[in-house]
A and B are shown apart, each in its own frame.
Chain A
Amino acid sequence: MAQLYFLHALGASAREWDEVISELSEVGDCVALDLPGFGDSADADLDVAGLVDWFAQQVSARQPQSWAVIGHSMGGKIATLAAARARDGDPDFAGLAAVVLLAASPPAPEPMAEERRAEMVGWFDDGHVSADEAATFVDANAAIPLPESLRAQAIADVQRSGRRAWTGWLERGSREDWQTGAGTLSVPALIVAGGEDGDLDEAAQRRLNLPHYRDARVEVVAGAAHLLPYEQPATVAALIREHVVPAFGRTLPAPFVALLASERVSRRTRAVMTERHAAPPPGKLLSPQQRAVLAALVETVLPGAADPVDLAARIDAMLTSEIGDGWRSAELPADAEGWTSGLDTLDRLAGGFADAVPADRELSLRSIADGTLDKTDGGLDPRQMRLWFAEARAEIARQWMALPATMARIGYDGFAVGGDGPHKQGYQRTAADTIEDWQRLEARA
């Protein structure tokens, strides 16, 4: 079963998620963690890298094959940096399918008024946070006072915070600049802000967190401030469900993820496969109609095999990047123009290729491929169409075959032939009808 990891805010504990989790039991196995120095865990002074290391241990100990991370405030910075390590091929974080950030602290130094920071650090001057100070903290972070039982719990969690963890985050962790390390992430992200939050409001989320995520949307929860899981648990749970269920739906099969996470795979190979499994960067070359024609072309070239919309997006991204396959037919215009003209010509020839029934699409393509098409009335001529269709179907096949999901489907394990150690593993058996134990994917789950 997929797992959801919950990382709480400064001064909170795993308990802040109780009501959210109660609505998500059917979505996956929910693991709410006490960050070091909070809740029931011993006090610790970890920098941000140390916190991400700690989280890596938590995840790898449970070996999830498909998982999401939900980070609240301080937990959000850890979530984003875990996603960055997953992107870079860290085996501990293999299988990450989605990220949810709630009023999250960004990879950049967290915006916070210095006097407020000093005040909060000062609460520990006498060794512990008083009930009044804790209540001030909790009340200031909620749009309207929390129900009494939750408020009491939140206050108690602040009071049991470890001094080193509390001051370490405020004085250092929240100020560490991880923008370069976070870079750009392709894992699908949902970024949630409280409509009445302060320093980490929607504007801050858009400015500081959103630029790190290529495939993200921002949601604002009205009537809530910073303590989102306490303030609006049902709304938060619904948002999480809405985001992670489709993401889990497109995860790779568990045994495949286990192999990808294994030491047989190099970090670099794992990173490129993880990246490719995510949605492609936005393509900007094709019009919506050209995209639709391309999707229909994908469906006709690889019927029932590829996700036509996804593959069309990948080809648009490839064309937008201007990184092609190193050559083109001398009789075709440059790739960008070749593809747009080819798609337009195809659409016109078929009297609306995107909306045609499969049999008519096939007929159209067949006349292009076998040379019986005698005129095109503008755009690419019949000979160019034949060359372009050869190029198009090769590109479609290339992009589809390179997808980790396709590798999983055909039972290909040739990426798992040597990790990063001084001796690579390769294959010991190469003869037909022989197989090594590690290749029995079904047995790895």
Chain B
Amino acid sequence: MSAAADIADVVIVGSGAGGAPLAARLAAAGLSVVVLEAGRAFRPDDHVADELAADIYWMEERLSGGADATAFGANNSGMGVGGSTLHWGAFCPRPDARDLRLHSESGQGEDWPIAHDELIAYVKAVERFIGVSGPKHYPWDDARRYELPPVARNAPAEAMARGCAALGITATDAPAALVSRDRAQPHWGERQACINCGTCHQGCRTGAKATTDTSWLPLAVAHGAEVRAECRVVDIERDGSGRVTGVVYVRHGERRRQACRALFLCAGGVETPRLLLNLDLANSSGQVGRNFMAHVATQVWGRFDADMRMNRGYPSSLITEDLMRATGADHAGGYLIQSLGVMPVTLATNLARGAGLWGRALVDLLADYNRLGGIGINGECLPSDDNRLTLADETDPYGLRKARIDFSYGPNERAIDAHARRTMTAIWERAGARDIFAVDRSAHTIGTCRMGHDGDRAVVDADGRSFDIDNLFICDNSVFPSALAANPALTIMALSLRTADRFLATRG
């Protein structure tokens, strides 16, 4: 094993939304920072406008169980310098204050150990840095301003706007973490305005979409951080008192060691708990892997008479937050509705699996691709003892046991799903869609190392620090105590900045 002579102040495992902002902030504060990323580095030009060839997803096998087994692969985790931000949809609603106090409000779920105001201050800092396009006036938050005008609506967005207007539901241009005009990104260069190519999920080829490799990581590097690609962390070394002294990683088949004074795990809601469980670390609470949550992400589809060609344009260009707390709702929490632009292969897979379609019905729908339109939700998911990540008996090529994730909707998720189906079907009927049907789907990997005030019920405290090991931190979607209806990446980036600030304020 080759050993690095230097001890880094901080090693960060993962270069996505959780790891990159704190890398930049800690480096700017003068700390020596090494970011270890399992995947390779890309230039925007390297990305390919093809769903099967896109190579920015975590494709190592995971086992999915439960009554509502969630899909992995291209559906959620990313791989590459930039992590999941390489393929994220850039849909970035802010976290709702009510969602952070869901337990206080409804008696269900969990409250966050962080005040909403404090989190939002960080959200705004993130938005300022990465550049967000959005409406001039945000109907659910009068004070909110977005730096850039909204990107063009696509055909499903216009349809959703029609349907919502007919039903008295407020809808507007979605906040999107991409630049609607050319914008200089410090230490990286000019990010070109979005060209409406629609391939956000295959990797942005113009730099319009905010990804950490074109924003936070160049900032971190400018302040002296080192980003090492193709480094798979396989072990965490400790001293006699149990404190972390370094990590062991494999690069091109060679085992290497990097000593550090503090370690941040930012590998996402599956890989972070998987590593801890494999190493039997930081789990005196027994909470590592527990409370896995995936957003209820039901979609409703239909045929239109018009030529929609939904692959054009920013996919999620319209939003409504009206259903965040529906009147007379039979469920805790709520959901966001967005218009969809789904590429053919993803659609085909979702129709075959999530809508149970095959035979003539499937062929006819897929052949009609250019006339289909859809809308979908991102809905609250409550933590549950039954939903958890454990280790399978099978091992990966590094000898670590694979993750097994069991996930089933509970009554609240079923109620949200049913409510959303009714609402979206009504919107789609009023939008002029025919042959309307729903697709079962869940998305995002949340929970599994939750934060809280109580070391018996949580893995890390509100600062992301392990209750068991005082120089081990976690910052990614695994620390979320509850799912929040908002898509997670913006909140993860905000948490990342906060985690950095808390680390700087509290380290000895």
**Which of A's residues lie within 8 Å of B, judged by CB?**
265-266, 268-269, 272-273, 276, 300-305, 323-331, 334, 362, 365, 369, 390-391, 393-394, 396-398, 400-402, 406-407, 409-412, 414-418, 420, 423-433, 435
Contact = CB atoms under 8 A, between A and B. Distances in A.
A300 B358 contact: yes
Interface in B45-84: 45-46, 48-53, 57-65, 69, 71-75
B74 A394 contact: no
6 contacts: A272-B53, A276-B52, A327-B62, A362-B359, A398-B352, A409-B367
Contacts of A331: 65
A269 to B, nearest CB: 5
A272 B49 CA distance: 10
**Residue among B50, B74, B197, B311 with the highest chain A CB neighbour number at 10 A:** B50
Contact of B351 (A397, A410, A432): A397
Interface in B143-161: 152-155, 158-159
B352 A301 contact: yes
Interface of B: 45-46, 48-53, 57-65, 69, 71-75, 152-155, 158-159, 192, 194-199, 205-206, 304, 306-309, 311-313, 343-345, 347-349, 351-353, 356, 358-360, 362-363, 366-370, 392, 394, 404-406
Contact of B307 (A269, A409, A425, A432): A432
A273 to B, nearest CB: 7
In the A-B complex, the 5 residue pairs with the smallest Cβ-Cβ separation, listed nearest first, are A326-B73, A426-B195, A330-B65, A430-B313, A417-B197
A269 B49 contact: yes
Given A393-B362, A401-B348, A414-B49, 20 more contacts: A266-B205, A269-B53, A303-B359, A305-B367, A325-B59, A326-B59, A326-B61, A327-B61, A328-B63, A329-B65, A330-B63, A369-B356, A390-B356, A396-B352, A402-B345, A410-B368, A412-B369, A418-B206, A423-B192, A426-B195
Contacts of B75: 326
A414 B51 CA distance: 10
B60 A430 contact: no
A329 B69 contact: yes
B343 A414 contact: yes
Given A334-B394, A432-B307, A324 B367 contact: no
Nearest to A426: B195
A426 B196 contact: yes
Contact of B195 (A305, A409, A415, A417): A417
B392 A432 contact: no
Contacts of A420: 45
Given A266-B48, A394-B352, A432-B308, A426 B63 contact: no
Nearest to A398: B349
Given A327-B72, A396-B352, A430 B153 contact: yes
B350 to A, nearest CB: 8
A397 B197 CA distance: 24
A412 B344 contact: yes
A391 B352 CA distance: 9
Contacts of A390: 352-353, 356
B157 to A, nearest CB: 8
Contact of B312 (A400, A415, A430): A430
Contacts of A268: 46, 48, 53
B353 A394 contact: yes
Contacts of B57: 326
Contacts of B65: 329-331
Contact of A415 (B49, B64, B359): B49
A265 B198 CA distance: 14
B392 A272 contact: no
B58 to A, nearest CB: 7
A430 B195 CA distance: 11
Contacts of B197: 414, 417-418, 424-427
B479 to A, nearest CB: 23
Given A326-B62, A331-B65, A415 B198 contact: no
B48 A412 contact: no
B369 to A, nearest CB: 5
A398 B195 contact: no
A407 B348 CA distance: 12
Contacts of B158: 431-432
B49 to A, nearest CB: 5
A267 to B, nearest CB: 10
A365 B57 CA distance: 32
B51 A411 contact: no
Given A331-B65, A401-B345, A435 B307 contact: yes
Contact of A266 (B49, B192, B308, B348): B49
A329 B63 contact: yes
A208 B303 CA distance: 54
B199 A407 contact: no
B447 to A, nearest CB: 18
A397 B196 CA distance: 26
B362 A302 contact: yes
B155 A431 contact: yes
Residue from A365, A406, A423 with most neighbouring chain B CB atoms (10 Å): A406
A433 B367 CA distance: 18
A60 to B, nearest CB: 23
B154 A410 contact: no
A430 B58 contact: no
Nearest to A414: B311
A401 B348 CA distance: 7
B60 to A, nearest CB: 7
Contacts of A329: 63-65, 69
Contacts of B367: 305, 409-410
A331 B405 CA distance: 11
A94 to B, nearest CB: 15
B313 A427 contact: yes
Contacts of A397: 348-349, 351-352, 362, 366
Contacts of A276: 52
A401 to B, nearest CB: 4
A323 B406 CA distance: 23
B312 A427 contact: yes
Contacts of A305: 363, 366-367
B394 A402 contact: no
Nearest to B307: A433
Contacts of A394: 349, 352-353
A250 to B, nearest CB: 19
